[in-house]
Structure 1
Amino acid sequence: MPADHVMGGVRARYDERVASGALTGDAAQAEAADRLDALAAALAAPQKRSLFGKPPEPVRGIYLWGGVGRGKSMLMDLFFAEAKTASKRRVHFHEFMAEVHERLDVWRKMSEAERKRSPWRVKRAGDDPIAPVAKQVASEAHLLCFDEFQVSQIADAMILGRLFDAVFSYGVTVVATSNRIPDDLYKDGINRQLFLPFIAHLKQRCEVVELASAKDYRLDRLVEAPVWYAPLGEGSRKALDMAWTRLTLGAEPQHCVLTIKGRKLEVAREAAGVARFTFEELCARPLGPLDYLTIAATFHTVILDAIPLLTPDRRNEAARFVALIDALYEARVKLVASAAAEPDRLYPDGDGAFEFQRTASRLHEMRSATYMAEERRVVES
């Protein structure tokens, strides 16, 4: 570290975790922490308004990209905690885009009189919802932190350029983590040429920082302990608590809401790309494949508490559990679970037991080192 370097809060918190043994020291992570500290300092500096009272140019953000398990989400969590700015928001990009589409739909359905009364109205916007929604987004946070920035759906790709042109015009700074370099976003997508201006604008507004660590720390943390704990009891509960702490690096759990076709799905506990649910939360409620696909698109790891024996009188819960595992498996989401029995004995008898054998086989495969090492797949929800 240069002699004139002044350590900021992100690097200090990172070094504390290394010293405590919670993290293994990594030069690429330390360098990224320093970059994030420089951004935090720029955000904390007084911002002068431009001529004619226009909002100041936003502080240039950071687009932090690299392979799976390199510590991107962990570093952004540290940055978000340290960033001293008037208003800030950390959100999964998939969740954010679902909210945007919902807001666009609400604006389209408003009458002309309702639009004129709306605090988000924008002169000369007419019935175009992009500008009003961008104004609403910008009013909620001067710093937007996106985890797992990825673009796979044409509906997102076609609005991102105009949406963020407007968001940036309000002085919003963006920080994002991604597994892809910006030039590979929406790769091979339909009408990708229409998306290219957004990539150029993103690189203009964000410093592109590669987290070039050679090691997949997430894989190490997954394979260092079992991922299936049976039977249920105090031991399995403690094991899942330890898995949560290990996989989230002790990050403070957050609450988020996923939007699926206008419906809300509450996620009570998530951190660093890991979500924790009980079996009852996911399989005893009227959820369906689209809900599970959305979970799989949002989180790289799911911790599932207390899977019971699946008897014929719980056939509805069993069917939902099968749909959940199918969604996680197809997306190569990692699963850590506690259960009443091993997969082969979860649904021993009755209607559906034979069909469940396929799910049991998938659960066994999901515990293998080969599956653990596979990268996530994009599955359309």
Structure 2
Amino acid sequence: MATVTDVYQSRVASGKIKPDEAQTAVLPELERLRTDLAQPVKRGFFRKTIEAPQGLYLWGGVGRGKSMLMDLFVDTLDVPARRVHFHAFMQEVQAAIHTLRSQGAEDPIKPVAKDISDKVRVLAFDEMQITDIADAMIVGRLFEALFDGGTTVVTTSNRLPDDLYKDGLNRQLFLPFIAFLKERMVVRELASDRDHRQDRLAGAQVFFTPANAEARSQIDALWEELTHGLEETLTLHVKGREVELPRYHNGVARASFFDLCGRMLGPADYLKLAESVRVLIIENIPQLSRRNFNEAKRFVTLIDTLYEARVKLIASAAAQPEMLYVEGEGSFEFERTASRLREMQAAEWST
């Protein structure tokens, strides 16, 4: 089986990725994990569970290649592994806990963890962050049960462990989990000076008009470049509601104009979206007028929010920004939005 370093160097040689010293420095830690997991499992009457190798917590800024390295690592494994966005995983866990409690279980966390450990040796989490009090209150016991069950955890995060659930409600109850995490996982920073995600978009066309088959094909190519063909559902929790984006990976989300502006979404939803993604693809922006005034208002709010958060925008539209909204109430105010859409197309626009 090829080592993690072999696979990395092969992808560099093929031009799929660019060499990065900070990424190269992390490869021995991933190879240590791959080698440990490849060892024969010791079983017997007095050894009923598998001892989990020490996991890895890889943190750093956006676009540094954390998710790419994790995906590369998972591809080299010969043991059952699951790669999943952390929020999606926690939603599954919360649902399973709710089901068991409704069936009368007094302590559902252990059976939920056992079911996971019975299926996989490795859990690879993308973008670990704790913002929900419900997650904060169960994640410690859950991880302890997963480790005891023989499951190794590898995770990426934009935050170092000490900043998880920062300023959260009852955070003092969460602090033992941080200590536990640092004890059971190797913590490494991916301290690259380069934002590879921005490198991939540098100089690329990001606003396509008209929104036809050719535009979709070019956006498909950018999507493939940014996500390597991987995607999952991103669920945003906003004031007790859930807003789903079905296509998401590694900080990049893709949705239609109707998904974002045809529904009853507002500033809080768009703010949460801007906090959760670094690149947003919006497809099929229509001609705007008094006929779709409400949708146009939401679009203006959305662009303002993305602009302030410095989110990179890729879009397909019926016309160039200045010609999207030329008549009817709100067309004068739209001039600012058109200006921002034009600015967001510039090569130097970055997160």
Question: TM-score when scaled to structure 2?
Answer: 0.84
* Counterpart residue number, 2:136: 157
* Range with bigger deviation, 216-225 or 48-57: 48-57
* Counterpart residue number, 1:65: 59
Helix, strand or coil: the match of 1:353? coil
- Residue correspondences, number: 349
Separation in 1, partners of 2:127, 2:255: 20
Shift of 1:173: 0.9
Helix, strand or coil: the match of 1:67? coil
Is the Cα contact below 8 Å between 1:99 and 1:259 reproduced in 2?
no
Separation in 2, partners of 1:322, 1:80: 41
* Counterpart residue number, 1:91: 84
Shift of 1:284: 4.3
Cα distance 1:221–1:277, how it changes in 2: closer, same or farther (>3 A)? same
What is the CA deviation profile of residues 326-354 of structure 1, one whole-angstrom value per residue up to 9, with x for unaligned ones?
A: 55445543221121223333222224435
Separation in 2, partners of 1:264, 1:180: 24
Is the Cα contact below 8 Å between 2:203 and 2:347 reproduced in 1?
no
Separation in 2, partners of 1:315, 1:138: 51
Helix, strand or coil: the match of 1:46? coil
Cα distance 1:357–1:195, how it changes in 2: closer, same or farther (>3 A)? farther
Is the Cα contact below 8 Å between 1:182 and 1:199 reproduced in 2?
yes
Shift of 1:95: 2.3
Separation in 1, partners of 2:271, 2:93: 19
Is the Cα contact below 8 Å between 2:85 and 2:232 reproduced in 1?
no
Aligned residue runs from structure 1 range 333-344, under 5 A: 333-344=311-322
Question: TM-score when scaled to structure 1?
Answer: 0.78
Question: Which of 142, 145, 150 does residue 171 from structure 1 map onto?
Answer: 150
* Counterpart residue number, 2:216: 237
* Counterpart residue number, 2:198: 219
Separation in 2, partners of 1:347, 1:282: 18
Is the Cα contact below 8 Å between 2:245 and 2:254 reproduced in 1?
no
Alignment identity in percent?
A: 52
Separation in 2, partners of 1:347, 1:140: 53
What is the CA deviation profile of residues 192-235 of structure 1, one whole-angstrom value per residue up to 9, with x for unaligned ones?
A: 33222111111222111222222222222233323222333455
Q: Name the amino acid aligned to 2:286.
A: P
Q: Name the amino acid aligned to 1:256.
A: T
Shift of 1:62: 1.1
Q: Which runs of 5+ in 2 are unaligned?
A: none
Shift of 1:246: 3.4
Cα distance 1:215–1:101, how it changes in 2: closer, same or farther (>3 A)? same
Cα distance 1:333–1:107, how it changes in 2: closer, same or farther (>3 A)? farther
Aligned residue runs from structure 1 range 1-381, under 5 A: 8-49=2-43, 52-86=46-80, 88-108=81-101, 110=102, 114-115=103-104, 126=106, 128-233=107-212, 235-248=214-227, 251-256=228-233, 258=235, 265=244, 267=246, 269-284=247-262, 295-322=273-300, 324-325=302-303, 328-329=306-307, 331-354=309-332, 356-357=334-335, 359-367=337-345, 371-372=349-350, 374=351
Q: Name the amino acid aligned to 1:344.
A: E
Shift of 1:316: 4.6
Aligned-pair Cα RMSD in Å: 3.2
Separation in 1, partners of 2:326, 2:340: 16
Is the Cα contact below 8 Å between 1:146 and 1:177 reproduced in 2?
yes
Q: Name the amino acid aligned to 1:244.
A: W
Separation in 1, partners of 2:330, 2:109: 48
Cα distance 1:17–1:301, how it changes in 2: closer, same or farther (>3 A)? same
Is the Cα contact below 8 Å between 1:73 and 1:273 reproduced in 2?
no
Helix, strand or coil: the match of 2:130? coil
Cα distance 1:142–1:353, how it changes in 2: closer, same or farther (>3 A)? farther
Is the Cα contact below 8 Å between 1:69 and 1:219 reproduced in 2?
yes
Is the Cα contact below 8 Å between 2:279 and 2:312 reproduced in 1?
yes
Helix, strand or coil: the match of 2:315? strand
Helix, strand or coil: the match of 2:17? coil
Cα distance 1:289–1:164, how it changes in 2: closer, same or farther (>3 A)? farther
Q: Name the amino acid aligned to 1:67.
A: G
Shift of 1:145: 0.9
Cα distance 1:190–1:78, how it changes in 2: closer, same or farther (>3 A)? same
Cα distance 1:351–1:99, how it changes in 2: closer, same or farther (>3 A)? farther
Separation in 2, partners of 1:306, 1:21: 32
Cα distance 1:154–1:45, how it changes in 2: closer, same or farther (>3 A)? same
Separation in 2, partners of 1:262, 1:167: 29
Cα distance 1:96–1:179, how it changes in 2: closer, same or farther (>3 A)? same
Separation in 1, partners of 2:303, 2:292: 17
Separation in 2, partners of 1:50, 1:178: 37
Cα distance 1:21–1:166, how it changes in 2: closer, same or farther (>3 A)? same
Is the Cα contact below 8 Å between 2:278 and 2:311 reproduced in 1?
yes
Q: Name the amino acid aligned to 1:44.
A: A
